[in-house]
Amino acid sequence: MYEFGIIDCLARWLTSMMLVLGTYNPYAMSYYHWLYDFPGQVPLKITIGVVLLILHVVAILSSVRSLGLIGIGLLTALFASAAWVLIDNHLLNVEDPRVFTLTLLVILATLYGVGLSWSHLRNRLSGQVDSTDVTFNSPV
Amino acid sequence: MPRLDTNPRVHFFTLFANRILLSTLLVFGTYNPSGNSYHHWLMRTETLTIPQVFVGILLFIGLVTMARMAFLSIGYFGVAAVSVMVLMGITFGVGLGFFGFQDVQITTYLVLFWIALVLGIGTSWSFVQKRISGERDVLRTPP
């Protein structure tokens, strides 16, 4: 039987990193820079924008559902204190505003990654299944 | 893909051993009387340092997660049942003549291991229930 492992966690984390940093990052090419620095290609830009929006909504909704507000708060505190440890040991220079923005984006991407993995991890650790009650949510 | 109607074997010993080991690590890492624990690390320094905050949040998240999952699985009745099992284990030891009641002391170690046992058995219980009766514990989200 297939079990959810470290590879699956890493895959989700890397995908969310690509999603978040592909949408915006302060260093290199991103969707944001493509939008503002390069004219033309409007239909393609709209299409990619909608795809990115859908992916963000999927990641945010599943993170909120599986972690809850308390989980997101605790994880944010954890990552912020981890960043603080790095800053305190001079491993992260947040005087540079680009590094600061990148830190925030990496924290957001890690939250997405943990949110996408948490229901699997919970099921593997305790056997409990997260579910979504879709009975009364349908508009039709 | 695993299907819902399959009922694969569960290795109960590894199941319980892994989870009780994990909860024991968390509980004893937070506090134990030997002098090497998070609590004693906090006591040794005068002000709160940043690594202490980080490790504290990490331990807190681990304990809250384990406690919530254990409680959702077994509830008040299960916690009471595990506690009664521990007490009955002591009574059995007395009854079989291994030790007398006057030898039994409720030490800090016993209480800590008791907590760890409740957490470990609580997180394992859903697998046992799934194997023996096919019923899954399901969380309904959003709350």
Query: ipTM of this model?
Result: 0.77
As a whole number of angstroms, the distance between CA B120 and CA A117 comes to 22
Q: What is the pLDDT of residues B51-84, one digit of tens each?
A: 899 999 999 999 999 999 999 999 899 999 999 9
Q: Which two tokens stand for residue A55?
A: 């992916």
Q: Is the pLDDT of residue B105 over 90?
A: no
The answer to whether residues B39 and B31 touch, using CB atoms and an 8 Å cutoff, is yes
Using alpha carbons only, what angle is made at residue B135 by residues A5 and B120, rounded to the nearest 5 degrees?
55
Q: Which of A78, A126, A131 sits opposite B123 (nearest CB)?
A: A126
Ramachandran angles phi, psi of B6, nearest 5°? -80, 150
B chain contacts of residue A86, beta-carbon cutoff 8 Å: none
- The neighbour count for residue B133, using CB atoms within 10 Å, is 9
Q: Is the pLDDT of residue B46 over 60?
A: yes
Q: Which two tokens stand for residue B74?
A: 């077994």
Q: Which of B2, B51, B60 sits opposite A2 (nearest CB)?
A: B2
H/E run at residue A15: helix A6-23
Instruction: Give the pLDDT score at B121.
Output: 93
Q: Kindly report the nearest CA distance between residue A105 and chain B, in angstroms.
A: 20
As a whole number of angstroms, the distance between CA A75 and CA B23 comes to 20
Instruction: Give the pLDDT score at B131.
Output: 87
Q: Which two tokens stand for residue B54?
A: 């980080």
Extents of the domains making up chain B: 12-126
Going by C-beta distance under 8 Å and a sequence separation of 6 or more, which residues neighbour residue A48? A31
